[in-house]
Amino acid sequence: MSLLEGKIGLVVGVANKRSIAWAIAQAWRNAGATLAFTYQGERLKENVEELAGAFGPDTLLLPCDVTRDEEIAGVFAAIAAKFGKLDLLLHSVAFAPRDALEGSFVNTTRDAFRVAHDVSAYSLVALARGAAPLMTGGGSILAMTYYGSEKVVPHYNVMGVAKASLEASARYLAYDLGPKKIRVNCISAGPVNTVAARGIAGFGDMFKHYEARSPLRRNVLAEELGATGTFLASDGAAAITGQVLYVDCGYQIMGM
Ligand code: NAP
């Protein structure tokens, strides 16, 4: 039997075929899961529709700007109506105003700080709260994070602070939801060339730096994130919760 046969998953954060969320969605699908996708606004609807269309008619497609509670409520109401349950949730969204990812961190405005945390960290709490009542047989919640949460990565700035908040939120959620057999983990990915990544000043240098310095001397592949996402969603990870798993070709262990 496939690893995720019979599981229902919600994927938040597909913008296009390069999105990490798309790599994980494909892996979940290949492992037998049935999926629902969200898209942020009409601009991305067509992209997501085209990609998710390949998964067949049982795939659900729903609008969701994660800063809007009513849209989050609508997503879970639609999943309850169509599937009656949920097993997996992928949180793969992040945003900070471009200025905040270019200059000095000390110049981060109150508004940029608020927006970055609202979209990139609080949204995990809001989505987990909506998902939990549907995860009646237990569940697995995954969030995408980055090493800039624990070490200074030039230009990552307020996004690093928001990722620290995301990782801490995952730990508190893991504690709250553990008695319901709902696990909450983060995947800390090495750099992947996506739209969000290209918004970070100096991303090209970061990419080359990982290739030169990581123990495996290369960058992570999107399909490797898909494989890790499938493992964390599966019963093989049944005793793993509240963790940050580094999928970065070993870069995180380096001191110099
Ligand atoms: P991506 O393809 O651009 O995906 C980011 C997604 O977040 C997009 O679908 C984006 O939609 C969505 N989003 C932003 N604001 C939103 C909102 N208010 N409501 C709903 N969705 C919103 O980039 P990605 O690299 O795959 O990023 C996915 C996750 O992986 C992020 O959490 C990112 O920080 C993390 N990550 C990425 C890397 C990397 O190197 N790429 C490394 C480690 C971790 P719009 O396009 O409409 O804004």
> Residue 54 has what pLDDT?
87
Q: Give a yes or no: residue 256 inside a domain.
A: no
Determine if ligand 1 sits within 6 Å of the CB of residue 126. Answer: no
Domain with 12 in it? 8-251
Determine if ligand 1 sits within 6 Å of the CB of residue 65. Answer: yes
pLDDT digits (tens, 9 = 90+) for 243-255: 999 999 999 999 9
Distance 48 CA to ligand 1 centre (A): 14
Q: Give a yes or no: residue 3 inside a domain.
A: no
Q: Give a yes or no: residue 191 inside a domain.
A: yes
pLDDT digits (tens, 9 = 90+) for 124-145: 999 999 999 999 999 999 999 9
71 confidence band (pLDDT: 50, 70, 90): very high
* Active-site entry in 156, 210, 246, 251: 156
pLDDT digits (tens, 9 = 90+) for 172-224: 999 999 999 999 999 999 999 999 898 888 899 999 999 999 999 999 999 99
172 is catalytic: no
Could you give the number of structural domains in the chain? 1
| pLDDT of 1 strictly over 90 | no
> Residue 97 has what pLDDT?
95
Taking CA atoms, 68 is separated from 59, 114, 140, 193, 199, in Å, by 23, 14, 23, 28, 23
Residue type, 27: A
246 is catalytic: no
| pLDDT of 230 strictly over 70 | yes
CA 18 to chain CA centroid, nearest Å: 14
> Residue 43 has what pLDDT?
82
Q: Give a yes or no: residue 2 inside a domain.
A: no
Token output for 137: 């047989």
Distance 1 CA to ligand 1 centre (A): 32
| Closest residue by CA, ligand 1 atom 34 | 94
Kindly report the pTM of this predicted structure: 0.98
Q: How far apart, in whole angstroms, are the C-alpha atoms of residue 134 and residue 132?
A: 5
Q: Give a yes or no: residue 97 inside a domain.
A: yes
Q: Give a yes or no: residue 220 inside a domain.
A: yes
CATH number of domain containing 231: 3.40.50.720
Please check whether residue 230 is in contact with residue 254, taking contact to mean a CB–CB distance below 8 angstroms. Answer: no
Q: Give a yes or no: residue 139 inside a domain.
A: yes
The fraction of the chain above a pLDDT of 90, given in percent, is 91
Distance 18 CA to ligand 1 centre (A): 10
| pLDDT of 146 strictly over 70 | yes
CA 117 to chain CA centroid, nearest Å: 14
